[in-house]
Structure 1
Amino acid sequence: MPEPLGVQLYTVREALTADRDAALRRIADIGYTAVEPYDPTDDPEGFRALADELGLTVPAIHAVALLREDEPGRVLDAVNTIGTELAIIPAGIPQEDFTTRDGIARAADLLNGLAETAAGHGLRLGYHNHWWELEPVIDGRHALEHLAELLDPAVFLEVDTYWAALGGADVPALLTALGDRVRALHVKDGPLTRDGAHLAVGAGAMPVPEVLAAAPEALRIIELDSCDTDLFDALAASRAYVTALEPA
């Protein structure tokens, strides 16, 4: 199994707001050795120090602020402070851009430009999907596949497997088609309905074994956008399931 197995911290956003240090300690106590933050500019020095203390690595960071800053250098400097080479755009491009070839080309141009800026800071840019990059099908292929063709080879994809399924994709087939472009996966599970709460990985309708097998080298990042049970309990169950499923 690709190491390390991580947690997207958006999963525990309320706990982080209440007590960041306690939330990260609970994640480490569960046995996770990696986290994926979603706001690199929020005390990057303090976050790095605490992660080091807890033995948590940071394989990637979500950095939507890159789309919102006129001068993204501040965000990229924070990513460097936290200590990862992978900065991911998780949202911020209009949904309608993925419904036409021209719109997809605009999205690719935007990401390629940001990738060049990120490279100047020693970073590699990635893009994370939701359902709206998969639901539009143009000439028999999902919009995300068309986007991948237009992206600079340096730009990678973090495929949110659950959102891809909700967008209508056969996720294992999609991952196979995208190949080495996929650097990371968001692994999540649930009832596969737009409004249904997520479940611990392995407890829902996602074909998790097939999904993971289709991208054997991609980073595995557990994320639960919402959950009716205790989130930390669900994270513990998710880790146990994925760890048992894949050979070390």
Structure 2
Amino acid sequence: MAYKIAFQLYSARNFPPLERQLEGLAQIGYDGVEPWLPAYAASAADFRRKIDAAGLACYGFHLPFKDLVAEPQRFIDIAGTIGARLLIPPYLMPEDRPATAEGWRAIGRDLQRVRDIVAGEGLKLAWHNHDFEYHALPDGSRPIDLLFEGAGADVGYEIDFAWVLRGGGDPLAELKRYGERMLAIQVKDTAPLGTRQEGGWTAMGDGIVDWAALWPLFKETPADHLVVEHDEPADWRQLAQRSYDYLVKLGARG
């Protein structure tokens, strides 16, 4: 199955300017980018001009959860400007993470409410995980399960398999459990736990995520694009090239 391939711009945040990054991604063969808030903060219209000039698209974008809940129309407008159809809140600050099961269900209900609003504009909403959603609460329940329980069936998921591993989860089990929610898949890899170089992250295929086991199940999800990311690359372009090449090897271009 062929997929569109995007690059999470957070990965290149330490290597400006943006225009050079976009040009390099287009040369490699990427179809689009997934921005985080600073990339479009100053001017969504200017960001759109830059990705258009590079011949790239924006399928989804990351945005702060609390801001989205407070001002959904602001991000609906941004989505329209940059051409994205998928809104992705990716993180909760430690002080905002509930300590109870009901607190996590409430986060899910907030997502459901926002999803209903953005759906009226033809947009979709998906949660993006880190490790903390896979750390069990004292009662043994997992925040990721509670969040989706509260959110209902229509809130999607952009899974980050590397963070699943770091949180103590099983990427294959999570793909099977939540595959029907996956509107985008982040193909992020991690070195063996405890590795310090580059924060312990690697290009796709250079780490311990078992892509050979995961890949056949991607086609069972509704995801139409894959997103490359690495939190602390020493060389963003090498990361982009190696990950892209690995995706092609797996068959991402059909």
Q: Distance in 1 between matches of 2:20 and 2:210?
A: 33
Q: Distance in 1 between matches of 2:73 and 2:202?
A: 37
Partners of 2:68 and 2:75 within 8 A in 1: no
Partners of 2:110 and 2:151 within 8 A in 1: no
Unaligned runs of 5+ in 1: none
Q: Displacement of 1:138 after TM fit?
A: 7.8
Residues 21 and 96 of structure 1: CA distance in aligned 2, closer, same or farther (over 3 Å): closer
Q: Name 1:239's counterpart in structure 2.
A: 244
Q: Distance in 2 between matches of 1:173 and 1:183?
A: 17
Q: Displacement of 1:60 after TM fit?
A: 0.8
Unaligned runs of 5+ in 2: none
Q: Distance in 1 between matches of 2:250 and 2:98?
A: 34
Q: What's the Cα RMSD here?
A: 2.4
Q: Distance in 1 between matches of 2:157 and 2:6?
A: 17
Q: Distance in 2 between matches of 1:82 and 1:213?
A: 32
Residues 157 and 23 of structure 1: CA distance in aligned 2, closer, same or farther (over 3 Å): same
Larger deviation: 114-123 or 22-31?
114-123
Partner of 1:169, secondary structure, is coil
Q: Of 23, 34, 47, which residue of structure 2 is paired with 1:36?
A: 34
Q: Distance in 1 between matches of 2:201 and 2:41?
A: 28
Residues 146 and 207 of structure 1: CA distance in aligned 2, closer, same or farther (over 3 Å): same
Partner of 1:92, secondary structure, is coil
| Identity between Structure 1 and Structure 2 (%) | 29
Partners of 1:165 and 1:192 within 8 A in 2: no
Aligned residue pairs total 245
Q: Distance in 2 between matches of 1:214 and 1:139?
A: 31
Q: Displacement of 1:153 after TM fit?
A: 2.5
What is the CA deviation profile of residues 143-202 of structure 1, one whole-angstrom value per residue up to 9, with x for unaligned ones? 312322321332101011100111111101111011211111111112143653311111
Q: Name 1:215's counterpart in structure 2.
A: 218
Partner of 1:158, secondary structure, is strand
Partners of 1:95 and 1:132 within 8 A in 2: no
After TM superposition, the score normalised by the length of structure 2 is 0.86
What is the CA deviation profile of residues 191-220 of structure 1, one whole-angstrom value per residue up to 9, with x for unaligned ones? 143653311111111112222323324231
